[in-house]
Amino acid sequence: MSEATLKVDAKGRIVIPSKIRRELGIRSVVSMRVHEGEVTLKPVKDPLESLAKLVVKGTEDVEREIGRLRRAAERELLRED
């Protein structure tokens, strides 16, 4: 079990230490749940990651399109909050 004391900045942000991010597989998006005074963060699996594995490496136009879709999905997730 990992544990850390984290500082919250003026905008309410925290930085999750890289060791813990690697341990949990956190990339760019997490889900947050508040229950009975406790906060739980869980990594959100990138839905395009499995698609990217199917793409033949070196197919630049497809890789570029996957990157564009990933950025659009991240923006949409952030907008839902």
Q: Look up the pTM and report it.
A: 0.54
Confidence at residue 37, expressed as pLDDT on a 0 to 100 scale = 94
Same domain, 59 and 31: no
Confidence at residue 73, expressed as pLDDT on a 0 to 100 scale = 84
Confidence at residue 2, expressed as pLDDT on a 0 to 100 scale = 80
Structural domain tally of the chain?
2
Contact assessment for residue 6 and residue 13, using Cβ atoms and an 8 Å cutoff: no
Question: Residues of 20-35 as b/e, b for ≥16 C-beta within 10 angstroms?
Answer: eeeeeebeeeeeeeee
> For the chain, which residues score pLDDT lower than 70?
47-48, 50-58, 80-81
Same domain, 52 and 79: yes
Confidence at residue 29, expressed as pLDDT on a 0 to 100 scale = 83
Domain that holds residue 41: 1-45
Confidence at residue 70, expressed as pLDDT on a 0 to 100 scale = 83
